[in-house]
Chain A
C-alpha cells in the first residue's frame, strides 16, 4: 500500500492499464499538459502524443471520436474535463454510445470510458458544479461509476478500462487532492459491489462519490452505530447489500451531493421499500442539495454543501425516529 492522492491514484491506474494494453489511449483537452487535475501528469512523456491526445475544445467530437475509435477495436478513455461539459456531447453519449451495441444488434460495442469529474470544487458556480449522475443512470446501456476513495479511484478506473461496456466514471472534483492508501498492485474493483465502510445496527447510511468521506466522518463523530455503504457504482448498484442491511436496521438515510429531487437517492429509497415492504421501515430520509443551481459566493455555496455536521444531524434524526 502507498499513500497517495485521488488524482495520483487515478493516474497510476491509467498508466498501468496503458502499459498492459497498447489499445488503451486517452483523448481530451489539455491531456498532454497533465489534465486540469494532474490526473494525466507525465503520461504523454511515457506513451507519446498519439496515445495521450490533447484535443480541441470540441466536446461532441471528443465523445463521438471515442466511439468511432472503440468501434475500430481500440479502448479509448474519453476525458470530458468536467461533467457539465458532457452536456455539449449528450447526443454522442446518450444516443450513440449508449445505444450502438443494441440498435445494431450486437455487431459492435462501445468499450470505452468517459471520465467526467463532477460536483462542487472551489466556488466554481452553476455551470461547473453539477452532479448529473441521476441523468445517466436513467440511460440504458451505460455503466455509471462514482468512486469515493483514492483506492477506488484506481480500482474502478482499471475496471472501467477493461469493461466491454461503456462506463461513465464520475470522479468527485472535490476529492482529487484527498489522500488514502492505494494497493501497489492496482486490481480492478468489480461493479455493483458496495464497500461496507462501517458496521452498525442503528441505521443504514448509503452514499457515494464526494460525500463518502463526509459521511464516514459524520458516522464516526455521531456516536451512533451506523451501517455505512459506499456504493462505488450506481448502475449496477448493490441493492442486495443495502436491502439486507435495512431489513436489519429498519432505518435508511441516503446522502448525496446531487439535487435531491429525482436524484439517485429516490431510486434507492423506492427499491428498498419494494425490497423490505412499507412495514419494514421505521424511518427514511434523503439528504442532498436543494433544487437550485450551485452559487458562487463561499457562504452561499456552503449553504448547499453537505457537511459532516449536517450528515450527523440527519443520522441522529433517522436513528431516533
Chain B
C-alpha cells in the first residue's frame, strides 16, 4: 500500500474491516450449523457497509450500543475478534467469559457497550450514556445501532423525544434491512417509517444507501461533525439488506429468491473493491486482504475449539456483591 494516499489507505482499512466482519460471521454461522458453537447466531452479512461506514467516523472514546445482530458493530468499533469467537463458542477467554454468547457481545475497552437481546433496548441506554458524557465533560459521542423493527417499540419513541429534548450527542443508526425477524416490516408499520418518526420528535434524519460504505462514511462524517459541534442528536436511516435469515438456521423462505440475489449484486465489499481498483489498487492486493481476513477468522475458530471451557464456578461470579450467591 506504500505510495497510496491517506484517503485510499482509509478506504483499504474499511475494506479490511468489512472483510473481517464477513469472514467472522461466515465462520460463526458454520460453527453454529455444525454444532461446534452452541446457541443462536444472528448474522449481519450484507450489512457490513453500515457498521464500518459509521464506525470509521468514531474515536475510541466514543461509545456504541448494539443489537442482537452485533458482531459487525463490535468488530468495526475495534473489539477483539478472537475473544468474540471464543465467546460464541462459550469458552474461557471469551469477551464475556462465556456468560453472554453471540447476543451479548461487548467490549467496553473500545467503547462497545454491548449487544442486546431485546429489540430497541439500546436506545434508552444510549441516551443515558450521552447524558453521563455531558455530565463528566468527556469529549465523546454515542452511536446507537438498531433495526427497523425497533421503531415499533415504545423505547424508540421515548428515546427520540428524550435525545432531542436534551440535545444529546447521539447518532441514531437505523439499519433498515426491511425485516422484523421473519416479517416484512412494512407489513406491520403504519405511517411514513423510521425517518418520519424520528423527525416528528425533532431528530433530523438523513437517508443513505447502506450497501455503499463510502456513502455511509461521507454522510456519517457530516452527521458526527454536527453532533460534536453540539447540534444534538442525528438520525441515519441506512437502507440495507440481510443476506442470511434472521438466525443462522433460518433459510428465509419468506423472501423471494431474486430479491436476495439482487442484494448480493449490491455487495458493499465488491463495490468498494471496484472503487479501489479504479484508483489503481491491484486486484491481487484486494484478494489478499480478503484472504487474510478469512485466515484470521478461521484461526480464531480453531483457537475457540481448542480453548478450555470456563470453570463452572464462574457461573456464580459477577451476579452482585451484596447478597451474592453462596
Whether A68 lies near B113 (C-beta < 8 A) is: yes
A56, CB-defined interface residue at 8 Å: yes
Q: Is the CB of B108 within 8 A of A65?
A: no
B165 and chain A: residue at smallest CB distance = A56
**A contact residues around B127 at 8 Å (CB):** 61, 64-65, 68
B131 on the interface (CB 8 Å rule)? yes
Closest Cβ–Cβ distance, residue A198 to chain B (whole Å): 26
Residues of A within 8 A of B97 (CB): 105-106
With A73-B132, A165-B321 already in contact, the answer to whether A103 and B96 are too (CB < 8 A) is yes
> Are the C-beta atoms of B124 and A192 separated by less than 8 Å?
no
* Interface membership of A23, Cβ < 8 A: yes
Complex contact A108–B108 (CB within 8 A) = yes
CB closest chain-B residue, reference A235: B323
A58 vs B174: C-alpha distance when bound (angstroms): 21
**B94–A105 touching, CB < 8 Å:** yes
Beta-carbon contacts under 8 Å, A57-96 to B: 58, 60-61, 63-74, 76, 91-92, 95-96
B124 to A64, Cβ gap below 8 A?
yes
In the bound complex, residues from chain B placing their C-beta under 8 Å from that of A108 are 106, 108, 113-114
Instruction: Kindly list chain A residues whose C-beta atoms are within 8 Å of the C-beta of B293.
Output: none
Residue in A91, A141, A233 whose CB lies within 8 Å of B319: A141
Per-position binary interface string of chain A over residues 180-192, scored 1 when its CB falls under 8 Å from any chain B CB and 0 otherwise: 0000000000011
Contact A76 B114 (CB under 8 A): no
User: Is A102 touching B318 in the complex (CB atoms < 8 A)?
Assistant: yes
Given the complex, which residues of B lie within 8 Å of A70, measured CB to CB?
Answer: 128, 132
Q: Determine whether A256 belongs to the interface, using a CB cutoff of 8 Å to chain B.
A: no
Residues in chain A near residue B135, CB distance under 8 A: 23, 25, 50-51, 69, 74
Interface residue tally on B, bucketed by range: 35 or more
- Output the nearest chain B residue to A137 by Cβ-Cβ distance: B323
Contact across chains for B317 and A91 when beta carbons are under 8 A apart: no
Contacts of A225 in B (CB 8 A): none
Closest beta carbon of chain A to B206's beta carbon, Å: 23
Residues 176-193 (chain B) with a chain A CB within 8 angstroms: none
How many Å lie between the Cα of A105 and that of B317 in the bound state? 9
The answer on a CB contact under 8 Å between A58 and B158 is yes
Residue of A with least CB distance to B87: A105
- Interface positions of B (Cβ within 8 A of A): 63, 65, 94-100, 104, 106-109, 113-114, 116-118, 121, 123-136, 138, 142, 154-155, 158-159, 161-162, 165, 317-323, 325
In addition to A63-B124, A64-B123, A101-B318, 20 A-B residue pairs with Cβ atoms within 8 Å of each other are A23-B135, A56-B162, A64-B127, A64-B128, A65-B125, A68-B126, A71-B129, A71-B132, A74-B132, A91-B118, A92-B124, A101-B320, A102-B319, A103-B99, A105-B318, A106-B97, A107-B95, A107-B109, A108-B106, A141-B320
14 A-B contact pairs sorted by A residue (CB < 8 Å) = A50-B134, A53-B131, A56-B165, A64-B121, A67-B128, A68-B142, A69-B128, A69-B132, A70-B132, A73-B136, A101-B320, A104-B95, A104-B104, A165-B322
